[in-house]
Chains A and B, each alone.
Chain A
Amino acid sequence: MAEERGTHDHDHDHDHDHDLTFQPNIEDTEAGRYELMTYAIRELLMEKGHLTPDELRAAQEKVESLQHSDGAKVIAKAWTDVDFKNRLLDDGNAALAEVGVDAGAAKMTVVENTEDVQNVVVCTLCSCYPRAVLGMPPDWYRSKSYRSRVVIEPRQVLSEFGTNVPDDMTVRVHDSLADLRYLVIPRRPEGTDGWSEDQLAAIVTRDTMVGVANPIAS
């Protein structure tokens, strides 16, 4: 825009509005069919006394308070305690309960990156995501582009995330379609010997637990 402004003829007076663009209000888009159905069900549940506004607000607050930092703590513990890591791989829900994380009804399936295998998670049907440990999924995880492409050309998609997987390693895509939720244990990077769990947790980003990136010691 700066260039246009520079060449703009400014001989006229300035009592009119220039072309201002406003951020759209969220109500500006017309509600779709499913949004309207959601509103209708919410109103019915409230009218019939099954749900109060306060309960709904509290539930939303709970969901939105879930953070990937919980997952990062779990990974840091798995890196420093091999018995815990093995329990996590064996029965994700039980191991998470040990550290106070309630994974809910979904079966937490934990997969481990090794020097031979890079795991990456997708839900090609919708956006199944381990919210109990990672919070809300990022927009890209729910995008049609990621969901369709990562299963067909995972190496290309990973490289777009800056993760280049050599050909002598296996890329293992996990399509999370049903009652399982996946969590990736990334590889602990070199140069982190002697680090505390807190230090380790700080380098375990959300994307490393989905498998599209790998932690870096920094």
Chain B
Amino acid sequence: MSGNFAPGDTVQVISTHPPGHRRTPYYIRGKTGEIERVCGDFANPEELAYGFDGLPKKTLYRVRFKQTHVWSDYAGPESDTVDVDIYEHWLLPA
């Protein structure tokens, strides 16, 4: 399994807004979280959507974010989280 990140690593989601079929939701772009697990390598759905082969495969992670970090007015306790599936090319070390 490839992938540059390991569970526990802190990562930042790239804040960019390219056109096309993207799998990283807007609300999480630019946010900082922690790798919860490495999920494996998958053909890139952002390429598959346009009839390309999606290769080379991209490593997929589950990244855990604190809700109070994602939403400035989050109403719940500090411990609440949102776990988001994010491909490696959307992540930077932080």
Contacts and interface: CB of A to CB of B under 8 A. Distances in A.
A154 B80 contact: yes
Contacts of B76: 153-155, 167, 171
Contacts of A156: 75
A175 B83 contact: yes
B14 to A, nearest CB: 15
A179 B60 contact: yes
Given A177-B84, A178-B87, A107 B27 contact: no
- For A151, A153, A178, the residue with the greatest tally of chain B CB atoms inside 10 Å of its CB is A178
Contact of A178 (B45, B74, B77, B79): B45
A211 to B, nearest CB: 12
Interface residues of A, number: 23
A178 B85 CA distance: 6
A156 B73 CA distance: 14
Interface of A: 107, 109, 124-125, 151-156, 167-168, 170-180
11 contacts: A124-B27, A125-B25, A151-B82, A152-B71, A154-B67, A155-B80, A170-B79, A171-B67, A175-B25, A175-B28, A177-B84
Interface of B: 23-25, 27-28, 39-40, 42, 45, 60, 62, 67, 71, 74-77, 79-87
